[in-house]
């Protein structure tokens, strides 16, 4: 038993040739967010607070596809979504279709704590945000020049793009490194085995207006119970079909698999190139498998293990080091 934390900044076809200017700021953001989460766990903050805190920070970074930095719909707008779940109580909250809320994850938590419901979307979610007085910004605040470019490229190629998977051929010639962005998520467990999960995203580049992905769907992109907490990333439609997050928990609960076994089983059975996840168990195990080329990820455990990586361990200078 001991605390553990893992976070991700999206999975996909991240080329090994990712230039330093695309890699360094994202690694720095992962390191910063990991340190923030570890400090909060060491200060005995509840895991639910820890995952919200870390995901807010990831949302505020333009390096990732959530909050500021969200990818654009086919109409050139942002439609952000997020989900949070407390493993202890199985209480959860989710939001979709946000265009002005600075931290979607905090609104998801308010849905969980201050409404009789689990999931609010579009106008109703925006109205709830106003009522709760959460920080909002003009929708243009979330739109980065990189995402305007990404949408243009996706439209030219007539594709809905899972943000970075299979970069559109010939379409992102000079800025391939800048196209490596992704959904964000964090899972945490404290020394008492209390678990929590949070995920936030802008979805897919050139998605239809109104499209909802796996992130806010309990059991697909996000899940936590008394066994584990899971946050997934990748192609939302595949993750929903595979009920990725809940399947990891179900394999532990019904089949007695360890966290690593359960997560590996689910990843192996989801179409290749489509999914990655981060997960922690009640006894402080951590796992971060993916079947894509890479996944921006970081983790730490109370016994001193820490990892920050993009590609499979040991490839291209990924860091894996003891953090004594």
By CB under 6 A, tell whether 27 contacts ligand ASP: no
Task: Please compute, for residue 64, the number of CA atoms within 13 A of its CA located in the half-sphere on the CB side.
Answer: 33
Each residue 248-287 as x (binds ligand ASP by CB under 6 A) or -, in order, gives ----------------------------------------
Joined together, the tokens standing for residue 94 give 């989710």
Number of other CB atoms surrounding residue 28 within 10 Å: 13
Each residue 138-177 as x (binds ligand ASP by CB under 6 A) or -, in order, gives -------------------------x--------------
The correct pick among 37, 47, 167, 203 for binding ligand ASP (CB under 6 A) is 203
What is the C-alpha to C-alpha distance for residues 51 and 6, in angstroms, rounded to an integer? 9
The correct pick among 182, 289, 294, 309 for binding ligand ASP (CB under 6 A) is 182
211 is in an annotated binding site: yes
The correct pick among 69, 234, 294, 309 for binding ligand ASP (CB under 6 A) is 234
Give the binding range for ligand ASP (CB under 6 A) out of 49-57, 230-238, 244-252, 304-312: 230-238
Report, in Å, the least distance between residue 148 CB and ligand ASP: 18
Joined together, the tokens standing for residue 125 give 């979610």
Using Cβ positions, the residue closest to ligand ASP within the complex turns out to be 236
Q: How far is CA 226 from CA 1, 86, 217, 230, in A?
A: 13, 9, 19, 12
How many residues bind ligand ASP, per CB under 6 A? 17
Q: How does 238-273 read in b/e, with b if 16+ C-beta sit within 10 Å?
A: bbbebbbbbbbbbbbeeeebebeebbbebbeebeeb
Give the binding range for ligand ASP (CB under 6 A) out of 37-45, 103-111, 139-147, 201-209: 201-209
What is the C-alpha to C-alpha distance for residues 74 and 291, in angstroms, rounded to an integer? 27
Helix ranges, the chain (H): 20-42, 47-60, 104-114, 122-132, 145-156, 236-241, 244-255, 259-269
Dihedral angle, C-alpha 241, 245, 250, 252, nearest 10 °: 140
Give the binding range for ligand ASP (CB under 6 A) out of 112-120, 128-136, 149-157, 197-205: 197-205
What is the C-alpha to C-alpha distance for residues 259 and 265, in angstroms, rounded to an integer? 10
Report, in Å, the least distance between residue 299 CB and ligand ASP: 18
The correct pick among 22, 236, 273, 284 for binding ligand ASP (CB under 6 A) is 236
Chain positions 43 to 72 lying near ligand ASP, rule: CB under 6 A, are 65
233 is in an annotated binding site: yes
Give me the active site residues, please.
183
Tokens 């360890």 -> residue: 258
Residues in touch with ligand ASP (CB under 6 A)? 10, 65, 163, 182-183, 201, 203-204, 213-215, 221, 233-236, 239
- Residue set of the binding site for substrate: 211-214, 233-236
């Amino acid at each position: 038993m001991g605390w553990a934390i893992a976070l991700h900044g999206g999975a996909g076809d991240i080329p090994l040739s990712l230039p330093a200017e695309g890699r360094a700021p994202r690694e720095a953001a992962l390191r910063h967010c990991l340190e923030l989460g570890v400090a909060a766990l060491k200060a005995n903050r509840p895991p639910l607070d820890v995952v919200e805190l870390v995901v807010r920070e990831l949302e505020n970074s333009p390096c990732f596809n959530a909050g500021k930095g969200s990818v654009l719909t086919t109409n050139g707008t942002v439609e952000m979504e997020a989900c949070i779940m407390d493993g202890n109580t199985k209480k959860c909250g989710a939001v979709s279709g946000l265009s002005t809320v600075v931290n979607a994850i905090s609104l998801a938590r308010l849905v969980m704590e201050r409404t009789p419901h689990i999931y609010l979307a579009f106008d109703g979610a925006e109205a709830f945000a106003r009522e709760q007085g959460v920080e909002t910004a003009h929708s243009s605040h979330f739109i980065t020049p990189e995402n305007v470019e990404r949408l243009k490229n996706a439209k030219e190629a007539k594709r809905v793009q899972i943000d970075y998977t299979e970069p559109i051929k010939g379409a992102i010639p000079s800025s391939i490194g800048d196209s490596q962005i992704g959904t964000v998520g964090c899972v945490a467990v404290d020394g008492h085995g209390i678990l929590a999960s949070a995920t936030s995203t802008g979805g897919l580049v050139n998605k239809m207006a109104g499209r909802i992905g796996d992130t806010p769907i309990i059991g697909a992109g996000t899940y936590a119970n008394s066994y584990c907490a899971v946050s997934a990333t990748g192609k939302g439609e595949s993750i929903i079909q595979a009920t990725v997050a809940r399947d990891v928990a179900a394999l532990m609960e019904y089949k007695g698999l360890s966290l690593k076994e359960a997560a590996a089983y689910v990843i192996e059975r989801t179409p290749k190139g489509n999914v990655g996840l981060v997960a922690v168990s009640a006894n402080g195990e951590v796992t971060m498998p993916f079947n894509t080329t890479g996944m921006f990820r970081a983790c730490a455990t109370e016994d001193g293990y820490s990892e920050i990586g993009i590609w499979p361990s040991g490839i291209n200078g990924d860091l894996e080091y003891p953090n004594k």
